[in-house]
């Protein structure tokens, strides 16, 4: 038994709670009403350590999966014993906080008895973001929001500070957990802030616990303690009732025709994809995954509840070059956004996040401030292909004294930078407008459009052979050469869309691309092309 004054290395997972007046408010209601609750040990914390309660479950049996294997192989000679485990929750009543009066420390499987509705869902992330200095940050587990590139989660461990700053400076990534070290007095503490929980590792004596809890809660509540902007953009939704409601609302928005995306949620090599539940289970999907799924949904009358059930039932199947199959449920591959009760939420690979109003305003302001092209773009005709539209636009611009050349579908190839070929532009004008056009009917099309513009801009910026290639297809070397200033070149994104707006998750992607292209000193413009 540890001494109250002896310093030992402890690791605690801490949460703070809201809307709580008594200790049992933190326990799940179904546990409180179950017969098992009578068997829990319920006792006070020794007053010399602080004020609080301990809740300990009776021992729970757990049969090892390999028990039967050993018995079979040994003709019942090797008989493994069953494991047992317990769930424990230590709840302290805080003295110095008037807003958050209770903090919990879960032991073993103690997390499973917490009523999630009482948990403050950004406590761990906020404390870490406020207290860990840049040079003490050790790892950042980020999620890539941008659907310009493969949606994925990945970890940047031991990053140099400039690398970490560049990750956190991106508008399309946000941290889900932050790891680093801080000092409270002379004691070094390792923190992992993971949305609602704060994992703390330090050498300490037990009589320091209550003071430590006050320290972390004070950091969370202290409005004068600056918090990095990147840590406030998104907060993961933990409440089960709210998550279920958001899925129903999202399903309803899909049934109303609103856009969403489907993307493989993990890092992967090039792969083909199949989707179950769309009457083409054995066929590789050609084109946009969400479009194929949306077409299948449209063939049957679904209620919102039925569609949510379908999300959980159907699977996205990844088929790699070796024909090895991996699958995830469609719900884990969904990306979309939703406004519910005046709050904006983002669905990313099956997880809901509350979007900071400030972050949304920043993105929307940047999007709204993109210069609108003055070129006279003609509307598309019903069913017209992008290739045909490009040809008609080329004719129209030249007739209206905007000298123009069509570049698509010619590809620039470079053995080092672009061995498989890059589309320099769909069209170019004599006024150095590089035009990229896509239908805005799906996130995949928009992703292709944004990526096409950004990749082409990066090559125009740094590769003289790319400039020579485009000059030959365009208006000659006097028009574009190695002395042409990048600030004179306009990257123009033409989006064919009936409604002149983008879903928020595509808007994030676009704003990130805009910033990247502007950082290369090019101008960026947007053209809304009326579609049928």
Q: What gap in Å lies between CA 331 and CA 497, rounded to an integer? A: 27
Separation CA 275–CA 330 (nearest Å): 8
Q: Is 463 helix (H, G, I), strand (E, B) or coil?
A: coil
Look-up: residue for tokens 């884990």? 332
Indicate the SS3 state at residue 133: coil
Q: Please give the Cα distance from 27 to 238 (Å, whole number).
A: 15
Write the secondary structure of 484-519 as one string of H (helix), E (strand) and C (coil): CCHHHCEEEEEEECCCCCCCHHHHHHHHHHHHHHHH
Q: Which helix (H) or strand (E) covers residue 418, if one does?
A: strand 418-422
The alpha carbon of residue 23 and the mean position of all alpha carbons in its chain are separated, in whole angstroms, by: 34
- Residue 252 has a pLDDT of 96
pLDDT at 81: 81
Which regions of 25-148 does DSSP assign to beta strands (E)?
41-44, 52-56, 60-62, 83-85, 87-93, 102-108, 137-144
Pair 476, 432: CB distance under 8 Å? no
- pLDDT on residue 143: 53
Would you say 344 and 504 are in contact if contact means Cβ atoms under 8 Å apart? yes
pLDDT tens digits for range 428-446: 999 999 999 998 877 777 8
CA angle 167, 168, 171 (to 5 degrees): 95
pLDDT digits (tens, 9 = 90+) for 147-202: 332 332 223 333 333 333 333 345 555 556 788 888 877 778 888 888 788 999 98
Q: What is the pTM of this model?
A: 0.61
Looking up tokens 């919990």 gives: 104
pLDDT at 485: 94
In the predicted model, residues of the chain with pLDDT beneath 70 are 1-5, 98, 139-176, 227-231, 266-270, 280-281, 321-322, 324, 416-418, 532
Neighbours of 408 (CB within 10 A): 20
Q: Please tell me the predicted confidence (pLDDT) of residue 31.
A: 92
């Amino acid at each position: 038994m540890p001494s109250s004054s002896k310093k030992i290395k402890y690791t605690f997972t801490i949460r703070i709670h809201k809307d709580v007046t008594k200790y049992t408010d933190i326990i799940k209601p179904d546990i409180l009403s179950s017969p098992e609750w009578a068997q829990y040990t319920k006792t006070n914390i020794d007053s010399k350590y602080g004020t609080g309660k301990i809740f300990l479950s009776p021992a729970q049996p757990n049969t090892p999966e390999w028990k039967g294997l050993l018995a079979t192989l040994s003709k019942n000679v090797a008989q493994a014993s069953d494991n047992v485990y317990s769930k424990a929750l230590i709840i302290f009543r805080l003295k110095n906080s008037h807003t958050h009066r209770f903090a919990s420390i879960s032991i073993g499987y103690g997390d499973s008895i917490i009523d999630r509705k009482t948990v403050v869902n950004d406590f761990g992330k906020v404390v870490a973001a406020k207290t860990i200095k840049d040079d003490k940050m050790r790892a950042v587990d980020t999620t890539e929001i941008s659907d310009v590139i493969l949606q994925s989660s990945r970890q940047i461990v031991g990053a140099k500070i400039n690398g970490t700053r560049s990750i956190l400076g991106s508008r399309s990534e946000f941290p889900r957990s932050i790891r680093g070290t801080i000092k409270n007095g002379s004691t070094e503490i390792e923190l992992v802030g993971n949305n609602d929980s704060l994992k703390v590792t330090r050498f300490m004596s037990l009589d320091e616990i209550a003071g430590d809890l006050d320290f972390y809660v004070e950091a969370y509540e202290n409005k004068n303690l600056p918090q990095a902007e990147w840590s406030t953009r998104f907060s993961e939704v933990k409440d089960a009732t709210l998550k279920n409601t958001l899925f129903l609302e999202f399903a309803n928005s899909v049934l109303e025709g609103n856009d969403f995306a489907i993307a493989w949620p993990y890092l992967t090599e090039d792969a083909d994809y199949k989707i179950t539940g769309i009457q083409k289970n054995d066929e590789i999907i050609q084109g946009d995954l969400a479009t194929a799924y949306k077409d299948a949904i449209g063939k049957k009358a679904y209620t919102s509840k039925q569609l949510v059930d379908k999300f959980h039932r159907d699977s996205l199947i990844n088929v790699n070059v070796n024909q090895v199959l991996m699958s995830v449920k469609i719900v884990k591959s969904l990306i979309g956004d939703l406004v519910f009760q005046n709050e904006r939420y983002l669905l990313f690979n099956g997880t809901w996040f509350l979007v900071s109003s400030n972050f949304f305003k920043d993105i929307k302001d940047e999007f709204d401030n993109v210069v609108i092209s003055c070129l006279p773009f003609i509307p598309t005709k019903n069913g017209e292909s992008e290739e045909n539209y490009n040809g008609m636009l080329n004719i129209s611009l030249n007739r209206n004294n905007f000298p123009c050349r069509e570049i698509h579908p010619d590809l620039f190839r470079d053995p080092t930078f672009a061995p498989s070929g890059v589309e320099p532009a769909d069209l170019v004008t004599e006024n150095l407008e590089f035009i990229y056009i896509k239908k805005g009917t799906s996130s995949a099309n928009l992703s292709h459009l944004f990526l096409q513009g950004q990749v082409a801009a990066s090559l125009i910026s740094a590769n003289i052979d790319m400039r020579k290639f485009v000059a030959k297809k365009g208006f000659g070397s006097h028009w574009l050469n190695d002395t042409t200033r990048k600030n004179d070149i306009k990257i123009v994104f033409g989006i064919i869309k009936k409604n002149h707006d983008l879903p928020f998750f595509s808007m994030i992607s676009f704003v990130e691309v805009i910033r990247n292209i502007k950082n290369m000193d090019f101008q960026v413009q947007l053209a809304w092309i009326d579609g049928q």
